[in-house]
Structure 1
Amino acid sequence: MSPTHSGSLEEFVPASQTELSRFMTENAATSHNQIFPVGGRTSLSVCCPSSQSGTLVCTSKLSRVIDYPVRDMTITVEAGMQLDQLNEIVSAEGQRLPIDVPQSNRATLGGVIATNACGPRRFSYGTIRDYVIGISAIDGTGNLFKSGGRVVKNVAGYDLGKMLVGSLGTLAVISQVSLNLRPKPETMSLVWFAFDSCQDADRALEAIITSGTRPTAVEYCNSKAARQIAAESRSELPSEHQVICVCYEGPANVVNWQTDRIREEWKEFSPLSSQIVETENATRLYHAFTEYQTSSDDPVTLKAVVLPSQMMKFVEAATRFDIAVQAHAADGIVYGHLPDSASSLEDVKQILNQLQKEISPQIGHLTVYQCESEWAESLPLFCTAPSGWSLMQQLKNALDPGHLLSSQRFSELVEA
C-alpha cells in the first residue's frame, strides 16, 4: 500500500505485520524517512516537537483478536485495537483490562504501551507494564521480533518487551500484544472529601497506608481542578476547596462497608464535608478524573513524578502559579494545566524553572506533557533526563541503528 499525504507528513496504513515489516525494511534500505508510529492519535503531541517530516505509520487496520482462552484470563490481539473495543470483548466474559486512559474510545493498545498511559486505577492495579506478557514488534530495520508469549509462564529471563513500554515509538512499531486480564468488579463507589488546608489533606493521604480499607484509586485535586471535574461529571459536589476522592470497587456489600469505614477513619483529619457517589454518578465522576489529564485547550499541560510524601509540597508550589492540579495521589503522579495568564513562552519557562526546583532529580522528574505547537521547539519537553539513559541509548542503537523511529522525541531526551 502506498503512503498517502496528510499535511506535511505521508501516511502508511499496513493491513498485516508482514506488510508493515516489508515497508520498514524498504524504508531503512532506501528512503531513510523518519517513521512516526500512530494508533488512535490521542498522544501525537505528547513529549514531541511540532516540526516533523516523514511518514506516519498507522496501526488502525491491525485490530484483530488472535487468541482468547477465556479460562486462562489472557488475550492476544493486534496492537491497533482500541482499548474500549478490547474491554467490550472481554466484558462479555466478566473480565477486563483494568487500565484506564483518556479517550479510551480512540486510544489503541500499542499507543497505551508506547506512552505508558495510565489513570487513577494505577494505585491498585499497576500500569500496562504489569499486564503485558508478550509483544511482537518491528524494529527500525524491518525485523520482526517477539518477546514473551501468550501465557504467563512464558515470561522468563530478560523481557525485551517491557522495554517498549513508555518508549514513545522510538525503538520499534508494536504490532501484536498478549495481555493478562482481571475479573470485572460488581460495583464501584467514590467518596468525595473536601479539605480546607493542605496539611489536613496530606495527613489523610498518609493514613491511606494504614487504613482498614483497600481503595482502587486515590485522587487529589486543588480547588481549580475540583470545580472543573465536578462540572464535567455533572455532579452537585462541594468544589470550593481542595478535594481527595477515594474509589472502591468489588462486591456491593464490601464496597458499602469500605465507603462508610473511610468516612469514619478520616473524621480526625477534619474534612469540611464527605459525600458518597454511587451508580451512574460514580461512573461519570470517575470518567471525569480519567479524562482530566488531557490538555484540552490549555496552553501547557505538565506532568510531574515525585515521591507521594513530597506530592503536596509540589502541589502547593503549582497552585501558587494558578495551575489546575490533579494527582494520582498515592502514586505521586501530578498533572497540571497552566492558566491562560501564562501567555508567553518566557512566562512558561519561568514557571517550569520554579517547579523544577521542587523536585529532586534523583527521585522524580518534570515533563512538558503537551503544549502549544509553536512553543514545542523552544521548551525543554523533558526537563530532566531519565536514569539509566546510557542503557537506553545502547538499546536505541541496537533496534534502530539509523535513528529512523521518532528520533525527534529521542533527541529531546539527549538534550535534557
Structure 2
Amino acid sequence: MITDASLTELKAHFKEIQISDDDQYHPLGNSGKVTIFPKSEQEISTVLAYANTNKHSVFIMGGGTKRGYGGQLEKADILLSLAQYTGIVEHNPGDMTITVKAGTSFQEIQTYLAPYKQKIPLDPYNPKHATIGGIVSANDSGPKRLGYGAARDNVIGLRMVYPDGMLIRSGGKVVKNVAGYDMNKLFIGAMGTLGVISEVTVKLRPIAKYESILFVSFSERNIEEIRAFAAKVLDSMIEPISLEILNPSLAGKLTNTNQFTMLISFDDVKSSVHYQVNVIRSIVPDKTTLRSLTQNEATSFWDNFYHQQPNGLTNETTTAAVLKIGVVNMDAIKILKEAELIADACHVSIEAHGGLGTGICNVSIRGANEDILSAIQQIRKSAMNHGGYAIIKHLPFSLRSEINVWGERTASHFLYEGIKQKIDPNTVLNKNRYVGGI
C-alpha cells in the first residue's frame, strides 16, 4: 500500500523519473495512487524491482484506449505510464522489419514508415492513440485480420521486463527465426499480467498500390442468402483483405444504408483490385445493392471505422460497452441477427460487425446500466450456444464488478494460474486484469 512515507521514498528513489501524485477518480478504473513516467527500459526495470520488493501493485498504461478492458480494482499502488517511452529503435527496410518502443502510437509508426512505402500489417481500433505495446498486449485487431493476421502472426520479437525487474528477450529481429519455442505467444494477449513489454519487433508489408471497398446491402434480412454469398466469395480465387457483415445500425452510421451490409475490401496493384471487384460484381445476388469506394474514399472510410468504437478515451453521455465475440466464421451472421433481437428486448442500441472469414465479432452497446448488463448476458449466452465465447473489451469500472468480464473459467485455467504464479508470485502486475481474475 502506498503511504505518505512511501510517496516520499518514491520521489527520492526515482529522481530522474516524473512522478504524479494523482488521487482522482476515473470511471473506468485501472488507475494508480501514484503515476510514474519512465523514459528508458532501465527505468521501467527499476520501478518494477522496487514495486516487487515492497509488495506494491502496478497497473500499466500506454495511450489509455484500453483502460476499460478488464480489471476488478479501481486503483493500484503505482500506475506505470509509458506515455514518454516512445520512438523507433531500429528499422531495416531491406529485411522489412522494425523495432519500436512500446509506448509509441500505432499511427506514429505508420507515418514514419510511409516514405519507405511500408507499413505494419495490423489494423487496431483508435490507431492515433493506441500504442504498439497495448495492441500486442491485447492482441487487438480489426476487419483486415482476414488478410493481415493478428499480432500473434506479425510480431517476431519482444523485449520484456519481468515483475522483478529482470530483462528478457523472446524471438529475434529477423523473419526466419525458428529456433526453440515461440515464447512471443506467451506474452501477446496476456494483458500485461506477465511482464511489461518494452520493445516490439514486427514484420512489415509493402503499402498497397491501390485499395477499393465494396458494400453489398441486403434488402431482405435473409441469413441464408448472406451466408451463401459469403461462402461463394470465400470459395472463389479472389483474396479479400476483409469480409465483414455490418448490422443495420452500424451500416447506417457508416454508409447511410440501414440494412445488413457486407463489406469487402481489396488492396493490391490496381489491375488486381479491379479484377477482383469485377468478380464480385458478377456473383452478387439479386435484390441487393452494390456500391464501391475508390482509393481516397476507402481511406476516409477506414479512418471513420476505426474511431467509431467506444474506448478508454471517449466521453460518452450514455453508458457504453464493447464485446468481442468469437464463433465459427459463418455464425457471425447469426450473432448479429440475434443481437438485433436482444437490442429490442433490452432497450439498448447495438452497433456490430462480424468477420465472415474469421468469426470475430465486435458489438458496441449503449443504454442504461441494467439494460446493458442484461444485453451482455444474453449475447454471451447466444455466443456460447454457438460454441463460441464473448469477452468484454470496454465497460465502466462500476459495472465490471457486477459481471464476469471474461466469461466462465475453462478447464485449462489452472495452466494460466500456474504461469502467473511462476512469473509473478507477488501478483505485482495488472492484478485481476486477465481471464478468471488473474
1:53-110 superposed Cα distances (whole Å, 9 cap, x missing partner)? 3211112222232221211111112111111111122221111101111221111111
Q: Point out the more displaced range, 284-293 or 366-375.
A: 284-293
In structure 2, do the counterparts of structure 1 residues 208 and 291 end up closer, same or farther at CA, with 3 Å as the change threshold?
A: farther
C-alpha distance in 1, partners of 2:282/2:151? 34
Alignment correspondent of 2:357? 330
1:22-171 correspondence to structure 2 within 5 Å: 22-30=46-54, 32-49=55-72, 51-171=74-194
Q: Point out the more displaced range, 382-391 or 142-151.
A: 382-391
Matched residue of 1:352: which SS? helix
Counterpart check, 1:3 vs 2:19: yes
Shift of 1:379: 1.6
Alignment correspondent of 1:275? 291
User: Any gaps of 5 or more consecutive residues in structure 2?
Assistant: 1-16, 25-31, 344-349
1:277-292 correspondence to structure 2 within 5 Å: 277-292=293-308
1:101-250 correspondence to structure 2 within 5 Å: 101-195=124-218, 196-197=220-221, 198-230=223-255, 237=256, 239-250=257-268
In structure 2, do the counterparts of structure 1 residues 26 and 88 end up closer, same or farther at CA, with 3 Å as the change threshold?
A: same
Which residue of the other structure, out of 301, 305, 317, is the alignment partner of 2:322? Answer: 301
C-alpha distance in 2, partners of 1:300/1:325? 12
Q: Is the 8 A contact 2:310 2:364 kept in 1?
A: no
Write the letter of the residue equivalent to 1:4.
S
Shift of 1:142: 1.0
Write the letter of the residue equivalent to 2:154.
Y
In angstroms, what is the RMSD of aligned CA positions?
Answer: 2.0
C-alpha distance in 2, partners of 1:45/1:353? 18
Shift of 1:313: 1.8
C-alpha distance in 2, partners of 1:228/1:6? 38
C-alpha distance in 1, partners of 2:393/2:274? 37
User: Any gaps of 5 or more consecutive residues in structure 1?
Assistant: 231-236
Q: Point out the more displaced range, 381-390 or 393-402.
A: 381-390
Q: Is the 8 A contact 2:331 2:386 kept in 1?
A: no
TM-score (norm 1): 0.91
Matched residue of 1:409: which SS? coil
Write the letter of the residue equivalent to 2:148.
Y
C-alpha distance in 1, partners of 2:157/2:287? 45
Shift of 1:143: 0.9
1:200-259 superposed Cα distances (whole Å, 9 cap, x missing partner)? 2122122222123210111211111111123xxxxxx5x121100100101111111211
In structure 2, do the counterparts of structure 1 residues 385 and 288 end up closer, same or farther at CA, with 3 Å as the change threshold?
A: farther
TM-score (norm 2): 0.87
1:147-200 superposed Cα distances (whole Å, 9 cap, x missing partner)? 111112334221222211111111100001111111110111000110122222
Aligned length: 401
Matched residue of 2:391: which SS? strand
Q: Is the 8 A contact 1:305 1:364 kept in 2?
A: yes
Counterpart check, 1:259 vs 2:272: no
Which residue of the other structure, out of 365, 374, 381, is the alignment partner of 2:389? Answer: 365
In structure 2, do the counterparts of structure 1 residues 271 and 139 end up closer, same or farther at CA, with 3 Å as the change threshold?
A: farther
C-alpha distance in 1, partners of 2:414/2:178? 25
Matched residue of 1:154: which SS? coil
Alignment correspondent of 1:375? 399
Write the letter of the residue equivalent to 1:334.
C
C-alpha distance in 2, partners of 1:93/1:263? 34
Matched residue of 1:397: which SS? helix
C-alpha distance in 2, partners of 1:362/1:202? 16
C-alpha distance in 1, partners of 2:195/2:425? 11
C-alpha distance in 2, partners of 1:70/1:6? 42
Matched residue of 1:113: which SS? helix
Write the letter of the residue equivalent to 1:263.
R
Identity %: 23
C-alpha distance in 1, partners of 2:250/2:76? 36
Q: Is the 8 A contact 2:105 2:128 kept in 1?
A: yes
In structure 2, do the counterparts of structure 1 residues 271 and 168 end up closer, same or farther at CA, with 3 Å as the change threshold?
A: farther
Shift of 1:389: 2.2
Alignment correspondent of 1:18? 42
